[in-house]
């Protein structure tokens, strides 16, 4: 059956099996792994994962792919629904790794939510737009540095990176892609509060932090200025100039 990718769902099906070995290496797949895959599409990656790990939980939003995903093996469970809306921790409570060709339109929010929302996941290996890949571990004071950079770097360290040709997808996207692998290093106790402060800080990245935090309702301008002074920074500081560790300090100073 010929399946047409849906542009509205950001679908670019993985069709070139030559990339699978690279994914397996970067994901450091082991026989005992339980893998969560988001956006299995035609099941090319799913079949590969099923042959190398103990179990695969595949989450797919597109019901028209049900027949294509119905015979992937006894160790594959397919869940239909929107991965951003579903309780993934309840669907796959034993998942140890997240390995996926992520739909472009949900990649960033899904990755951010997985950091604390999927506490059992220790490793990630994801295919994303090159622009997104560059953001994940960008350095402070660079154009690519943003809230997702801060949040990922507070929880993970990058273990691998591999550019991906457009020809491995159907249809070929109009942008470059990359595989990014990273592993969990820890989760700050006040991560939820840190996430709120980081999101507010970058919501108005051209403004100073006191103004940005005040506009978001996270803290008054005066309180934010005092918190910045307390951690050795001036009130003219902007979000892009703070390291991930300084965002932790700022959050605690605000509290």
Residue 162: strand pairing partners = 179
Radius of gyration (Cα) for the chain, nearest Å? 20
Query: Residue 193, Cβ neighbours under 10 Å: how many?
Result: 16
β-pair partners for 183: 123, 157
Q: Dihedrals φ, ψ of 67, to 5°?
A: -65, -35
Residue 122 has pLDDT above 70, yes or no: yes
The CATH H-level (homologous superfamily) assignment of domain 191-254 is rRNA adenine dimethylase, C-terminal domain (1.10.8.100)
Place of tokens 């026989």: 31
101 within 8 A of 46, measured Cβ to Cβ:
no
Q: How high is the pLDDT of residue 243?
A: 98
Q: Is the pLDDT of residue 230 over 70?
A: yes
Average pLDDT over residues 124-146: 97
Q: Could you read off the pLDDT of 32-87 as tens digits, one per residue?
A: 999 999 999 889 999 999 999 999 999 999 898 888 888 888 999 999 999 999 99
Count, in order, helices (H) and strands (E) of the chain: 10, 9
For residue 105, the SS3 value is: coil
Which is the CATH superfamily of the domain at 7-184? Vaccinia Virus protein VP39 (3.40.50.150)
pLDDT for 70:
86
The residues of the chain that CATH labels 3.40.50.150 are: 7-184
The tokens for 10 are: 């950001």
pTM: 0.91
- Average pLDDT of the segment spanning 225-251: 97
Residue ranges of the chain assigned to CATH 1.10.8.100: 191-254
Higher pLDDT, 120 or 8: 120
């Amino acid at each position: 059956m010929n399946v047409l990718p849906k542009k509205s769902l950001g679908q670019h099906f993985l069709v070139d099996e030559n990339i699978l070995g690279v994914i397996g290496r970067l994901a450091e797949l082991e026989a005992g792994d339980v893998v969560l895959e988001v956006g299995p599409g035609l099941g090319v990656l799913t079949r590969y994962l099923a042959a190398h790990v103990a179990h695969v939980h595949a989450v797919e939003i597109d019901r028209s792919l049900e027949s294509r995903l119905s015979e992937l093996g006894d160790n594959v469970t397919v869940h239909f629904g929107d991965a951003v809306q579903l309780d993934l921790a309840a669907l796959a409570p034993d998942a140890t790794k997240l390995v996926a060709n992520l739909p472009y339109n949900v990649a960033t929010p899904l990755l951010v939510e997985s950091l604390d929302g999927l506490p059992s996941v220790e490793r990630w290996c994801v295919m994303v737009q090159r622009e997104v890949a560059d953001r994940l571990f960008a350095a402070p004071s660079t154009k690519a540095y943003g809230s997702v950079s801060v949040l990922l770097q507070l929880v993970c360290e990058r273990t691998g990176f591999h550019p991906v040709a457009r020809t491995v997808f159907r249809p070929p996207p109009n942008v470059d892609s990359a595989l990014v692998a990273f592993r969990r290093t820890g989760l700050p106790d006040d991560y939820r509060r840190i996430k709120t402060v980081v999101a507010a800080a970058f919501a108005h990245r051209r403004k100073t932090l006191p103004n940005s935090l005040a506009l978001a309702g996270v803290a008054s301008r005066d309180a934010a200025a005092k918190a910045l002074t307390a951690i050795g920074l001036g009130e003219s500081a902007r979000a892009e100039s703070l390291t991930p560790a300084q965002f932790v300090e700022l959050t605690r100073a605000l509290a």
